[in-house]
Structures are given as structure tokens and as C-alpha cells.
Amino acid sequence: MLNTNDILETIHMIQDENLDIRTITMGISLLDCADSDIDRMCGKIYDKICRYAGNLVKTGEDIEAEYGIPIINKRISVTPAAMVAAACPDKNPVKIAHALDRAAKQVGVNFLGGYSALVHKGFGPGDYALIESIPQALAETERVCSSVNIGSTKAGINMDAVAKMGHIVRQCAELTADNNCFGAAKLVIFCNAPEDNPFMAGAFHGVGEPDCVVNVGVSGPGVVRAALAKAPDANLTEVADIVKRTAFKITRMGQLVAQEASRRLCVPFGIVDLSLAPTPAVGDSVAHILEEMGLESCGAHGTTACLALLNDAVKKGGVMASSHVGGLSGAFIPVSEDAGMIDAARCGALSLTKLEAMTAVCSVGLDMIAIPGDTPAEIISAILADEAAIGMVNSKTTAIRLIPAIGKKPGEDMEFGGLFGSAPIMDVNTYSPLKFISRGGRIPAPLQSLKN
């Protein structure tokens, strides 16, 4: 029979340490929905999503009950909408966003990602119109999320797109100023965007993916912190070992749920994304893991080193536990969604510059960061360019989700509520990058040799 301690450990992880499956995300290809008549296309998109994902939420709930593991979100990602929008380039693609929103509501998922464009090397037909429509689409829909890939290690950085996205981020915030600028929280700008990421708001269904697929994102920062707390005097070799062992267990659970969901939905299993995704709940914070390693506060000197250890150990522990690992896999550092990050930002220990350094070693990037409402578009673009450069040179994904807090200043707070938490508004460097951003063009792809 099973070992009593193992059983109690699992129950303890779920009950007291917030272990959960963060999301089951069904990826659905929309390529066969493309049509030169936009209304007909929207009809096809709605029908296909409802047909494929009709049982997604129910299946998730069944697995949750049977296995006793909380499955927090059931979501959908679709082919970047700009690709199907290219079939009718003279029409406003916002109709597609409405069709996606209706489908998401019909099947009962809380978010649907993929109102996206991939423009890392240039704008194709449909891309420009879609990007222009993002602020309106995110303001008028409730559940649709958007992402734009503006750079990659192989292609370099499309600086025309970077300049454009600075304005788009601002407009997203402005159009939803009466709703905590929430539009901007549903838009992610990527460098090296993964095609199988199950986490919102940056999920989309890549072109190399099958027609339909199930991806699962696990979480569990609280479990890792609790495991480290039991070894207060361990050296860092041992710390890395503890993280690996814990990540292994968490990921095994993700693998089980992914396989079971795949079997019940009759959809191929894609990947397990073995991420430490924090929530604002007490005991579910990545910052607190870093502090458990010995920092007085997240943001102190040493934070980048701790995060590098954590991120690497999570991956090492997780890869062996799953047959296919993918997505963003690693430690997330969203400011508003992490109780420890919020505290560190509030007390001044954590600055935007430190966060930027941390993104060189974490799994994502500058995530859920509120900046002053009067930040000009070119400064937002320059932050995007910096972050994309880190991703491009280091061959890693970087994602940026900035929320210009319209009408607010540093020191004030943005309250999003729920899983999105609250974000103290952080100072940005206000020296102008306008000339640099307005040059346009592309930053060439970096050398892959002579690595120093």
C-alpha cells in the first residue's frame, strides 16, 4: 500500500500550501475558419470553438472532483487571429474578437487567448489591422486576451512594431480607464513567444500545433517555499535539490491531469508547463521563496542569483516528471499577482530596474507592472525594446505586460482584485528615448557564436 507519509504530504500540499493545477488550456486551430466574408468567418470560429471545447469546463471539474486537486482555470487558446483576419484585410477584425468572446462565454471559460499577431520580422496582411484594433477589442470584450510577438532570436527585433505597441499599450489603458485600465492587463508583448503556452494573457495556438491540443499549466510556489522552510540551514546545493524534488512532484501531478484531460476530451496531449505561478493569496508567492533562501526582501542584491537558481532547479526537477514539457516553464514574477512582490515594491525594495535584471533569468518578463498614467508611448516602447533585447540575446522568452495607470502617480495603487491582485505604481526613468524609438527599422538578429 501507499506510504502514509506520502499520502499526508500530498494532502498537506493541496490543503495548506495552495498546490493546484493553474490551468487546463485547450488549443484550437482557426486556420480552417478563414473566409473572405468576415461574418461567415466569425460564424465558423464560434461554431468550431463551441464544438471542440463544449466539454472542457465540465471535464476539468470532473477531474478536479475525482482526483481532489483544484483546477483553477479552464481556458482556450486559438491561432493568432491576424492569420485568419488576413483573409479579409479591409475589414475591422474586432468582429473576430466579439465572436471569440461569445464562444468563450458559451463554453464557460474565463479567458481565451489568441487575438494575436506575430510580427517579429515584419507586418503581413491582417497584422497591422489587427494590432490597430487591439485597444477596441480588449475594451469591448470581457474574456479575450491579446498578444503580439515583436522579436525573436532568429529574426531580431521589429522596431516599427515596438514603436507601434507603445501607443497600443497606452490606448488599451486609456479606453478602459474606468475599469482599472484592465485592457492593458489583457495584452502581452513577446520576444520569442512560445507556441504552446497555456498561461494567459499570452496564450495562443501556434501554427506548428495540431488542430486541437490540451496543455496544462501547474503551479505551487507555496509548496516550494514550505519545503525550503523545513531546511533553514541547508547550503545552496541542497536548496537546489529540494526545489528539484518538489518541482518533480508538482509536475507529476500536472502530467497526470494532462493525460487524463486528454483522454476524456479525446484530444492529443500537448505539454505540461511547469511554472511557479503565484497568486496574491498568502503563501502562494514566488517572492517569498526568494526570501526563504535568505533575502531580507525580494529586490535586495542577490535576488537575481536566487531567482536564477530557482528557475533552473524548477526546470530540472520538472522535465523528468513529464513526457513533454513546454510553454513558459519556470518562475513567474508578476508584480501585482504576488503578495511578496507587492510588499517589496511598496516598501521600495523592488524597482523596475531590478525587475528588468530579474527577467534575464526568470521564465517570463516584466509582468503586471503598473506605471504612471502620464508615461509617454515612446518610453513604453523603449521598455519593450529593452526587454525584447534581453530575450533575443539570451534565446529566451520575454513577455511584457505593463499597465499605464491613467490618472495615477507613483506611490498610488491599482486594485484589480481576484487573481490579478493589486499593483503599486512604479517609477519609470523619464529621460526621453524618443529619437531612438522613432528611427524604426529592425535590430538585426544576434550572433549565436562568440558567446561572452
Partner 1 sequence: MRAVITVIGKDMVGILAGVSNICVKYNVNIMEVSQSIMQDLFAMIMLADISDSNAPFAQLKEELTEYGKQNALSVHIMHEDIFNSMHRV
Cell of 118: 506575430
Contact status: 176 vs partner 1 (CB under 8 A): no
Among 3, 235, 237, 448, binds partner 1 (CB under 8 A): 3
- How many Å apart are CA 172 and CA 133, to the nearest integer? 10
Contact status: 10 vs partner 1 (CB under 8 A): yes
Among 105, 245, 252, 346, binds partner 1 (CB under 8 A): 252
Cβ contact 100:45 at 8 Å: yes
DSSP calls for 169-184: HHHHHHHTGGGTTGGG
Candidates 6-14, 205-213, 270-278, 429-437; binding stretch for partner 1 (CB under 8 A): 6-14
Distances (CA, A) of 150 to 27, 431, 443: 22, 23, 11
Contact status: 394 vs partner 1 (CB under 8 A): no
Contact status: 249 vs partner 1 (CB under 8 A): yes
Per the listing, cell 475558419 goes with: 33
Among the listed residues 79, 92, 73, the one whose alpha carbon sits nearest the alpha carbon of residue 31? 79
Among 42, 144, 172, 256, binds partner 1 (CB under 8 A): 256
Cβ contact 336:284 at 8 Å: no
Per-residue x/- marks for partner 1, 13-52, CB under 8 A? --x-------------------------------------
For partner 1, the closer CB: 69 or 355: 69
Q: Which residues have CB under 8 Å from 75's CB, separation 6+?
A: 23, 24, 25, 26, 109, 110, 111, 112, 113, 198, 200, 203
Going by their DSSP bridges, the two strands 112-118 and 71-78 should be labelled as parallel
For partner 1, the closer CB: 212 or 227: 227
Contact status: 69 vs partner 1 (CB under 8 A): yes
Contact status: 255 vs partner 1 (CB under 8 A): yes
Look up residue 57 and give its amino acid.
Answer: V
Candidates 2-10, 175-183, 185-193, 381-389; binding stretch for partner 1 (CB under 8 A): 2-10
Cell of 201: 494573457
Contact status: 253 vs partner 1 (CB under 8 A): yes
Contact status: 274 vs partner 1 (CB under 8 A): no
* Contact set with partner 1 (CB under 8 A): 1-4, 6-11, 15, 65-69, 249, 252-253, 255-256
